[in-house]
Chain A
């Protein structure tokens, strides 16, 4: 082998390739955004908002699970905390505008996330999953016994109010574009985080934690930060969900919900940006259509079956499998 390759030419070619890939991704993203903007004219806005809220929840979860490799089995706690806090504030303090309530809900969920992270971060792998599950159960018991949550009945009639005190959110279209804007902002934020040097460190922790340690990274600090960001975004999803549906209930705090977000992320493709969005869309649709038909009592076992199938046969998820397919056939 001679060393006569012109390394700058190779470098150039790689850069060209990366640019072309980036351009393709850009086109895909623009098409998706246009579709989302046009969607409420075709589909029922409340249903779309449900998908967006769960998609944000799954995107938040995926930052931790897919990119950092930490399986939290307690993310329902943040969704519910965001929802209950926002619901409580907007119901009881009429002076608050909607976005203040949502910000406050997100802030409380963020603090809870910090507490979870500090307690659980020293355990790894499946222990981490168990600790987060148990902590979330503690939060669940707190919500069950608290007066302000309405216990088993839930919190009803949360006012949607006015965005910035001006835009009437009782109009479903206004509400939809607000939710869409928040969702897109968070999606871009996660995209930015993942591609930043910080995101590279998170990925290295996932791939080989001891090596990341030996390279001098204080991995626990990176993990705590990832957990807190993830909890904050999950809380934001919960806050928006409570405003959209004007309802916050114990369902959101139940461990079942923590399992559901794992399923969404897995089905869509963990560790991909678009995966959780696709997964959330898929799961929400499956649940909706099953609950309308003859199989309405079989939602849980069917979700369980999908879980088994995905883990056994499609661990890369829908987006991951598609990526593999395109790489093989078009790359």
Chain B
């Protein structure tokens, strides 16, 4: 078997694959955070909880009503998006004029509340969700075995990321969004319903998180605390990439997944900390982040 730096090629490519998949999740989540940050100027601490909610809703809908994966792929983000719009309308809007720190703390409270309630109902041991039949099995690429579902996750995550990027950078709706980021008051003066735009943006951002949650349901353990684990890592990814660009969030997300996978191959003990170490290095040499624009 061929070896690279003393590691079998199959092991290396296997870890790289897992890295790219984790990276796809980081990308989806940091993308949602970036979209919300753009217009609302808040760091959505409830983002991990929304990701968790997406996965939980998928499992619960299947257990209770037998809703299949494909329907859940649309239903869960939609439901969570509606929850997001309600949260924005009834809670976040009330403190819109205050220091942004308060909205961060508010979303933190929401995350604690949601995670705590669901933990009480479902426990932390993890719910089971079986893979859709279509995705059982995989393909042998010669140097590694690629399960179909993993290929699907990477593919669809890239499509959704690109779609979001396209919508924000190239369409009229995206132009409104970007204009609102620059000067919301002026936008309102032009007759655009900014409060509605803000609600929908928050809803869309958390729907992206829920979408990532649905994708995660068949391969990760679905528990009420799954969101808080990944959220802090995603924060580090966001700091590394900087909040400047949508494209930056996507690229950094995937890149960090790969870095994590490589570390797991060559020096496993550091794998859970490596992204934070990268963050420290980036902060020392490029405090605004790799793609950041702010001073």
Q: How many A residues touch B, CB cutoff 8 Å?
A: 38
Which residues of chain B come closer than 8 Å to A298, judged between CB atoms?
A: 116, 120
A137 touches B236 (CB 8 A): yes
A300 touches B100 (CB 8 A): no
B112 touches A304 (CB 8 A): yes
Are A119 and B284 CB-contacts (below 8 A) given A133-B232, A134-B279, A138-B273? yes
Which residues of chain B come closer than 8 Å to A39, judged between CB atoms?
A: none
* Residue of A with least CB distance to B103: A311
A180 located at the interface, meaning its Cβ lies under 8 Å from any Cβ of chain B in the complex: no
Are A137 and B276 CB-contacts (below 8 A) given A120-B283, A129-B104? yes
A96 located at the interface, meaning its Cβ lies under 8 Å from any Cβ of chain B in the complex: no
Render B71-114 as a binary contact track against A, CB cut-off 8 A, 1 for contact: 00000000000000000000100110010111011101111111
Q: How far is the CB of B286 from chain A (nearest CB, A)?
A: 10
B115 located at the interface, meaning its Cβ lies under 8 Å from any Cβ of chain A in the complex: yes
Q: Which of B223-253 contact A (CB under 8 A)?
A: 228, 232-233, 235-236, 238-239, 243
B43 located at the interface, meaning its Cβ lies under 8 Å from any Cβ of chain A in the complex: yes
Which residues of chain A come closer than 8 Å to B113, judged between CB atoms?
A: 301, 304-305, 307-308
B185 located at the interface, meaning its Cβ lies under 8 Å from any Cβ of chain A in the complex: no
In whole angstroms, how far apart are the Cα atoms of A302 and B110 in the complex? 11
Render A112-133 as a binary contact track against B, CB cut-off 8 A, 1 for contact: 0000000110110111011101
Among B94, B95, B101, B119, which residue has the most Cβ atoms of chain A within 10 A? B101
Which residues of chain B come closer than 8 Å to A305, judged between CB atoms?
A: 109, 113
Q: Which of A276-310 contact B (CB under 8 A)?
A: 297-308
Which residues of chain A come closer than 8 Å to B108, judged between CB atoms?
A: 259, 262, 307
* Residue of B with least CB distance to A260: B112
Q: Which of A42-98 contact B (CB under 8 A)?
A: 71
A135 located at the interface, meaning its Cβ lies under 8 Å from any Cβ of chain B in the complex: yes
Among A130, A259, A297, A305, which residue has the most Cβ atoms of chain B within 10 A? A130
Which residues of chain B come closer than 8 Å to A300, judged between CB atoms?
A: 112, 115-116, 119
Contact of A131 among B95, B104, B233, B239 (CB under 8 A): B239
In whole angstroms, how far apart are the Cα atoms of A302 and B109 in the complex? 10
- Please classify the interface of chain B as helix (H, G, I), strand (E, B), loop, or mixed, using the class held by over half of its residues: helix
In whole angstroms, how far apart are the Cα atoms of A307 and B109 in the complex? 5
B280 touches A119 (CB 8 A): yes
A255 located at the interface, meaning its Cβ lies under 8 Å from any Cβ of chain B in the complex: yes
A315 located at the interface, meaning its Cβ lies under 8 Å from any Cβ of chain B in the complex: yes
Which residues of chain A come closer than 8 Å to B130, judged between CB atoms?
A: none
Q: How far is the CB of A260 from chain B (nearest CB, A)?
A: 10
B116 touches A301 (CB 8 A): yes
* Residue of B with least CB distance to A254: B228
A27 located at the interface, meaning its Cβ lies under 8 Å from any Cβ of chain B in the complex: no
A307 touches B106 (CB 8 A): yes
Q: Which of A127-152 contact B (CB under 8 A)?
A: 127, 129-131, 133-135, 137-138, 141-142, 145
A141 touches B43 (CB 8 A): no
Q: How far is the CB of A191 from chain B (nearest CB, A)?
A: 24
Which residues of chain A come closer than 8 Å to B120, judged between CB atoms?
A: 297-298, 301
Which residues of chain B come closer than 8 Å to A312, judged between CB atoms?
A: 91, 94-95, 106
Which residues of chain A come closer than 8 Å to B119, judged between CB atoms?
A: 300
A205 located at the interface, meaning its Cβ lies under 8 Å from any Cβ of chain B in the complex: no
* Residue of A with least CB distance to B94: A312
A226 located at the interface, meaning its Cβ lies under 8 Å from any Cβ of chain B in the complex: no
A303 touches B112 (CB 8 A): yes
Please name 25 pairs of A and B residues whose Cβ atoms are closer than 8 Å in the assembled complex, sorted by A: A120-B283, A122-B283, A123-B287, A125-B100, A130-B235, A130-B238, A131-B239, A134-B236, A134-B276, A135-B276, A135-B279, A137-B236, A137-B276, A138-B277, A255-B232, A262-B108, A297-B120, A299-B116, A300-B112, A301-B112, A301-B120, A304-B115, A311-B95, A311-B102, A312-B94
* Given A131-B283, A134-B276, 12 new contacts (CB under 8 A): A119-B280, A122-B287, A130-B235, A130-B238, A131-B239, A141-B272, A301-B115, A301-B120, A308-B113, A311-B95, A311-B109, A312-B95
| A residues whose Cβ falls under 8 Å from a Cβ of B | 71, 119-120, 122-123, 125-127, 129-131, 133-135, 137-138, 141-142, 145, 255, 259, 262, 266, 297-308, 311-312, 315
9 smallest beta-carbon distances between A and B, as pairs = A307-B109, A304-B112, A301-B116, A304-B113, A300-B116, A138-B276, A308-B109, A134-B236, A122-B287
